[in-house]
Structure 1
Amino acid sequence: QPVGLYPHARRVGDLLFLSGVGPRARGSKEIPGVKLDEQGNILSYDIVTQCHSVFQNVRYILEDAGSGWEQIVDVTVFLTNMKADFAAFNRVYAEYFRDHQPCRTTVEVNALPTPIAIELKVIAVMP
């Protein structure tokens, strides 16, 4: 469920553009790997758990739109703590993209719209 007025994905010609995808559990507000205080601020998080969750969400969106994992051609990664999380993210990323390697850009951002540590922006080809 997007947190604003935008689609999860939009097809333009043979390309599928995914809006920013976070690790929130599909169909709920639960964020795997995150512990929040009473005000909704992050107390702690597990970047590995969030990475697995965000990759699963990307897979759901691609498949719902008629595309697939092997069709990904470009990934933009937004991390809120590059220094602490980049190495772990790279290890998990390698599990998912060992044989299929799209272009990738990784940037650090100050914050994301929900209390998450990672968000992906993906472009895929429609088969």
Structure 2
Amino acid sequence: MEEKIRNSNRAPLPVGLYPHARKVGNLLFLSGVGPRKKDSKTIPGVELDENGEIKDYDIEIQCKAVFDNVKMILEDCGSSWDKLVDVQVFLTNMKDDFSTFNKVYAEYFKDIQPCRTTVEVNALPTPIAIELKCVAEL
């Protein structure tokens, strides 16, 4: 029986009891992916205060870090960037960040154009401003 639960050795560990991805048929469903780096407490593009709250952040740096993490997970789990078919985007500040996010997104996704939904959320589980949930073909 082929393993359905898949994980990447290069991406940051999930913050809960869930895998990086799960294979169902010829599809790979990724759990939410943020900009954290593996084996590091710092988050690219995020400056925290002494209480661990976001003091300042750079959404462009976070977007690029998220996209890099998604790419690693896809590759390590048997898929690739060009096989993405659906991307759900969660932003914590749509008003200020959507324009920059959309610009960076266009650079990374112009050749593959998966379906996309972008929503604003009140908060994410770690002090980040963006998270992606993706589906790709295998």
TM class by shorter-chain length? over 0.9
The answer on whether the counterparts of 1:24 and 1:32 sit within 8 Å (CA) in structure 2 is yes
> How many residue pairs align between the two structures?
126
- Residue 62 of structure 2 aligns to a residue in which SS? helix
Higher relative contact order (CA 8 A, sep 6+): 1
Select the residue among 37, 46, 58 that pairs with 1:25.
37
Give the match for residue 74 of structure 1: 86
Select the residue among 36, 46, 54 that pairs with 2:58.
46
Which amino acid is the alignment partner of residue 46 of structure 2? V
**In the TM superposition, what is the alpha-carbon distance from 1:25 to its structure 2 partner?**
1.1
Structure 1: which 5+ runs fail to align?
A: none
Return the alpha-carbon distance in structure 2 between the equivalents of residues 72 and 121 of structure 1. Answer: 11
Return the alpha-carbon distance in structure 1 between the equivalents of residues 54 and 27 of structure 2. Answer: 35
- Residue 97 of structure 2 aligns to a residue in which SS? helix
Structure 2: which 5+ runs fail to align?
A: 1-12
* Consecutive aligned runs of 4 or more in structure 1 exceeding 4 Å deviation: none
**In the TM superposition, what is the alpha-carbon distance from 1:26 to its structure 2 partner?**
2.5
The answer on whether the counterparts of 1:22 and 1:54 sit within 8 Å (CA) in structure 2 is yes
The answer on whether the counterparts of 1:26 and 1:57 sit within 8 Å (CA) in structure 2 is no
Which amino acid is the alignment partner of residue 99 of structure 1? D
Give the match for residue 87 of structure 1: 99
- Give me the TM-score of the superposition, normalised by structure 2: 0.90
Return the alpha-carbon distance in structure 2 between the equivalents of residues 55 and 112 of structure 1. Answer: 17
Which amino acid is the alignment partner of residue 35 of structure 1? E
CA RMSD of aligned residues (A): 0.6
- Residue 32 of structure 2 aligns to a residue in which SS? strand
Residue by residue, what CA displacement relative to the aligned partner does 1:20-76 show, whole Å, maximum 9, x if unpaired? 000001232220000001110000000000000000000000000010000000000
Return the alpha-carbon distance in structure 2 between the equivalents of residues 82 and 13 of structure 1. Answer: 34
